[in-house]
Amino acid sequence: MHRKVYLFIIALIITGLFFITPHYNQWLLTNILEPPISYSTQFNNLEPEQRRALRYGVSYEVFKRLTDAFGHANIAHPVILLPPPGYLKQMGIVNVDMGIPPGFYYFTGYEGVFASSPNAGQAAWAILPNKEGVAIKRLNSKEDLNYLLRHYNQYQSQQ
């Protein structure tokens, strides 16, 4: 029996040494024991919407505001022109990621298009950067749309 106890002590030493190794130590601390979203935050936010907000961050809040706005206005099938990521970055907006049209559809249920998308000409709304972050604007005329398409296409071609 005492040899089993020695082996138990060896097992403890091995696991201890394993997690003292710098790489595994850091992994255990930052990924498992103290993850970016702490366990207490997780247990205090158990509703699916809260979990989505925690995981997807600021972008998800933007998406939610957009969907709420369209829901209240009772607009059935808006096609929304999305800003190219390069343009958002240049405007200093780094914490909002619009993703690509299918991702935008996943989060909002609305059809987003890039300036290079085949049906970009159908866009009646556009997401534009402003001082607070981004805002959604109705496109009042074909000229407004064409101007934005030309402007956004410059950034799209840079990607």
Choose between 140 and 158: whose C-beta lies nearer to other proteins: 158
Beta-carbon count within 10 A of 88 CB? 22
CB 14, min distance to other proteins, A: 6
HEC profile of 32-87: HHCCCCCHHHHHHCCCHHHHHHHHHCHHHHHHHHHHHHHHHHCCCCCEEECCCHHH
CB 88, min distance to other proteins, A: 16
CB 123, min distance to other proteins, A: 11
CB 131, min distance to other proteins, A: 29
Choose between 3 and 131: whose C-beta lies nearer to other proteins: 3
Choose between 106 and 147: whose C-beta lies nearer to other proteins: 106
Choose between 46 and 73: whose C-beta lies nearer to other proteins: 46
Choose between 103 and 129: whose C-beta lies nearer to other proteins: 103
Beta-carbon count within 10 A of 37 CB? 11
Residues near other proteins, by CB under 8 A = 3-5, 7-8, 10-12, 14-15, 18, 21, 23-24, 27, 31-32, 42, 48, 51-52, 55-56, 99-103, 105-106, 111-114, 117-119
Residue 111 · residue 79 · CB < 8 Å: yes
Residue 88 · residue 156 · CB < 8 Å: no
CA distance 98 to 131: 17
CB 132, min distance to other proteins, A: 26
